[in-house]
Amino acid sequence: MENITQAIQGIPLNHYILLSSIIFAIGVMGVLIRRNAIVIFMSVELMLNAVNLLLTAFSAYRGDAAGQVFVFFIMALAAAEVAVGLAIIVMVYRNTNSADINVLNKLKW
Amino acid sequence: MVLFLFVLMLLNLNEETEPLKPTLLKVMGVVAGMCLLVTLAGSLKALSVSEPVVLQNANLGLVKNLGKVLFNQFLLPFEISSLLLLSAMVGAVLLAKKEA
């Protein structure tokens, strides 16, 4: 247990940034290549969580608790966004019988 | 996350109904994502500082400490976020009702 704590304390800041970048990029790719609305929502959530991770790492690095408080706000915002978004998806699914975002291209006209 | 699971269960999606993008678009998406990743990693490389993240203050992330910051420094945003959650809840209920 002591060993693990020691190892975690030795991780440089750059590795945290790199991990967050990778998670964020995975989220972006998920948004770009999937057409299922729910999967796109999950990818957006992944991006938000990458930013959360980065905020927490910076908060620990700087010794400032404000970063971790921001994480709370981002979580609240994500919850609100997911509630409304999923309601919209359910409504679209009821009307079109699919969660495909391409059926929404009729919104263009 | 629980909400996601509920909606997945509700919508009864399976492999035949899974919409797929054309392969070209998928490749373009992966390329774009990789470009973003390379840009971020490259800018990270230009950043020379890489000190280990050491907690100077061991009780920084404790609930007591965070609560103090949340309810003193960030009291107004906290209250406003309650408004946001309430309006989101009302909006979700309105949208999800059968005949809105």
Cβ within 8 Å, pair A17-B56 = no
**DSSP labels for A63-88?**
T-THHHHHHHHHHHHHHHHHHHHHHH
Cβ within 8 Å, pair A33-B26 = yes
Structural domain boundaries in chain A? 12-98
ipTM of the complex model: 0.80
Q: What is the CATH architecture assignment of A12-98? A: Orthogonal Bundle (1.10)
Cβ within 8 Å, pair A99-B11 = yes
Q: For A26-71, what is each residue's pLDDT tens digit? A: 999 999 998 888 889 999 999 999 999 999 988 888 888 889 999 9
Q: For B51-97, what is each residue's pLDDT tens digit? A: 777 777 777 778 888 888 899 999 999 999 999 999 999 999 998 88
Say if A75 is an interface residue toward chain B (CB within 8 Å).
no
Alpha carbons A18 and A13: distance in angstroms, whole number? 9
